[in-house]
A and B are shown apart, each in its own frame.
Chain A
Amino acid sequence: VDIPWVVKPEEKMKFDTIFDSLGPVGGMLTGDKVKPVLLNSKLPVDILGRVWELSDLNRDGMLDKDEFSVAMYLVYRALEGEPVPMSLPPPLVPPSKR
């Protein structure tokens, strides 16, 4: 499936910078490192819980760089007033995980 990822290269660079600043271990960020960042958005916790569900694609309780970009993308869109989807639309699935 050759759909372009909705996370644009310049956004991905910004999200990667945030990811690296949070001190990933083995290329992964644990939930307790990501949680305060998402809480900073001031979005309701149930929305953030859904953002996590959608972005932790392999359900391992940690986010890698691509999963973190999905989470940040959803948070930024939610802050712009767009609803967080109930399931991840294909263009939001990172190309590395299709």
Chain B
Amino acid sequence: QYPAGGSSTNPFL
């Protein structure tokens, strides 16, 4: 669901 290295707390990333 989230890109690797992205912020897992940001629903827009």
Interface residues of A (CB under 8 A from B): 31-32, 34-35, 38, 45-46, 48-49, 52-53, 56, 59-61
Least CB distance, A45 to chain B, in whole angstroms: 5
Interface residues of B (CB under 8 A from A): 7-13
Query: Which of A31, A32, A35 is B9 in contact with, Cβ under 8 Å?
Result: A31
A23 to B13 CA separation, bound complex (whole angstroms): 23
A32 to B9 CA separation, bound complex (whole angstroms): 11
Q: Are A34 and B7 in contact (CB under 8 A)?
A: no
Specify which chain A residues have a CB less than 8 angstroms from the CB of B8 in the assembled complex. Answer: 61
Specify which chain A residues have a CB less than 8 angstroms from the CB of B11 in the assembled complex. Answer: 31-32, 34-35, 52, 61
